[in-house]
Amino acid sequence: MPVKIPAVYWEDVIIPTHLITQHKKISVQEIKHFAATFDPQPYHLDHDAAKESLFGGLCASGWHVCAIMMRLLSDTMEQDSIQFLGNEEIPGLKWLLPVFEDDQVQADITFTQKAPAMNGADFGTVDADIKVKNQHDKVVMALTATLMIKTRLSHGA
């Protein structure tokens, strides 16, 4: 049986903490499926049109890269037993480079600051700098996120 890591609550989070997520390879099928549902523009769906576009090739929707980042972040938090409740806010995000088919991405996460729970709230927030990099170690997307982390208090209540 794998050893269960004790739950990490907001009170337990140390500043700074640096986490590295798993890798995720993004297939052409995934790119097209997401695009067909949420972002049906030619450079996410059609190889020929994508070649002519400002990206120069078929690439994932920027919102798809956001969603993949969220999954990588969530899995890393789960693995480390950090009681992550989602994003309170994304203060800023930049899409810096296209993510092409079969690119492999990974996120670097640094917790930079903590803010205590508001009166009556069951979570505190942790600010994070997140950089999503491709297999060439180039940053494709950079963001700051205000993450909600459950407090120990809420757990007892």
Judged by the rule CB under 8 A, the positions of this chain that interact with another protein are 34, 37-43, 53-55, 61-64, 66-68, 70-71, 74-75, 78, 84-95, 122-123, 154
d(CA 47, CA 56) in angstroms, rounded, equals 9
Phi, psi for 149 (deg, rounded to 5): -125, 130
The number of angstroms, rounded, from the C-alpha of 32 to the middle of its chain's C-alpha atoms is 20
CB of 117 to another protein, least distance (A): 12
The helix or strand, by DSSP H or E, that contains position 133, with its residue range, turns out to be strand 123-133
16/36 with CB nearer another protein: 36
Q: How far is the CB of 91 from another protein (least distance, A)?
A: 6
CA distances to 51, 81, 93, 133, 154 from 101, in Å: 13, 32, 22, 14, 43
CB of 2 to another protein, least distance (A): 19
- Considering the complex, what minimum distance in angstroms separates the CB of residue 89 from another protein? 5
Check: CB of residue 135 under 8 Å from CB of residue 104: yes
We find the least distance from the C-beta atom of residue 93 to another protein, in angstroms, to be 5
Question: In terms of CB distance, is 34 or 100 closer to another protein?
Answer: 34
Closest CA to 117 of 71, 92, 86, 148: 148
Our CB check for another protein shows the closer of 61 and 111 to be: 61
Q: Which is nearer to another protein, 24 or 114 (CB)?
A: 24
Residue among 72 and 111 whose Cβ is closer to another protein: 72
